[in-house]
């Protein structure tokens, strides 16, 4: 019986994969057999390189700034040039700026929206054109958020971008499922990354968060890897326009 989670022969482009959540997803997909293209503004950290090499994966690195004009198409073109094709796109790169709503600047709002929403939209557009041109199926995985459902506090741009990304995930599924495109999202709960360091450092807020999570701990980037492999694989071929919460039970409370 074949393994429906096997990614052998597939090529996955993961943005924001130099470290953190993106790196954990890249490594887990590599372990499942995929060839990996890492796209990030910063260089891969040694732990990411070690994880990919331990998986025995063929991998490539593309440096770029997704906020620049034309960057999404250039990124897809560079990935195809490096690996020959793409089968999977994981839009992981993200940014957050914390400030009260009345103090949130236009510059911060634009930066967050450009990275968290605009870049995934146009990366997905270019990716879809590529796979349809090959007459091949394609898998898109968008990293949404608990703030795709909730308002949150002190993160106006982030909340707006993640609500928007959830909507685009569903729209792509509506328009392109019949053409062999699967577009789904992962909504991480509270994951221990650089972006959440200020919250974890706030003793009162950290305590309140942990008290609400049934699992009783912050998530680790590696906790998202298995769900990403599922969404990238044949095991999820009839799943479309869905956002999966990987949150230790946060939403259940």
Active-site residue numbers?
A: 158
Q: Which residues pair with 15 in a beta bridge?
A: 39
Helices (H), 114-155: 119-133
Q: Which residues pair with 244 in a beta bridge?
A: 186
Sheet with 35-40, side-by-side order of all strands: 59-63, 35-40, 11-15, 88-91, 138-143, 181-188, 243-246
- Residue 226 near residue 6 (C-beta atoms within 8 A): no
Among 161, 169, 196, smallest CA distance to 66 is for: 161
């Amino acid at each position: 019986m074949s393994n429906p989670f096997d990614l052998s022969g597939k090529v996955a482009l993961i943005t924001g994969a130099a470290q953190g959540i993106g790196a954990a997803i890249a490594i887990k997909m590599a372990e499942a057999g995929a060839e990996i293209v890492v796209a990030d503004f910063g260089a891969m950290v040694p732990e990411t390189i070690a994880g990919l090499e331990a998986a025995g994966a063929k991998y490539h690195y593309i440096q770029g700034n997704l906020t620049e004009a034309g960057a999404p198409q250039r990124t897809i073109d560079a990935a195809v040039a490096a690996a020959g094709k793409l089968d999977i796109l994981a839009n992981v790169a993200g940014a957050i700026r914390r400030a009260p709503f009345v103090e949130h600047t236009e510059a911060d709002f634009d930066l967050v929206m450009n990275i968290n929403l605009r870049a995934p939209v146009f990366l997905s557009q270019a990716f879809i054109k590529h796979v349809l041109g090959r007459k091949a199926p394609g898998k898109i995985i968008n990293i949404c958020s608990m703030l795709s459902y909730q308002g949150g506090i002190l993160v106006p741009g982030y909340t707006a971008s993640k609500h928007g990304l959830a909507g685009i995930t569903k729209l792509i599924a509506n328009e392109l499922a019949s053409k062999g495109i699967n577009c789904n999202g992962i909504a991480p709960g509270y994951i221990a990354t650089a972006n959440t360091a200020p919250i974890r450092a706030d003793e009162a807020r950290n305590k309140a968060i942990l008290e609400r999570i049934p699992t009783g701990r912050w998530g680790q980037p590696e906790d998202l890897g298995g769900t990403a492999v599922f969404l990238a694989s044949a095991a999820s071929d009839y799943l479309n326009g869905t956002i999966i919460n990987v949150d230790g039970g946060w939403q259940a409370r």
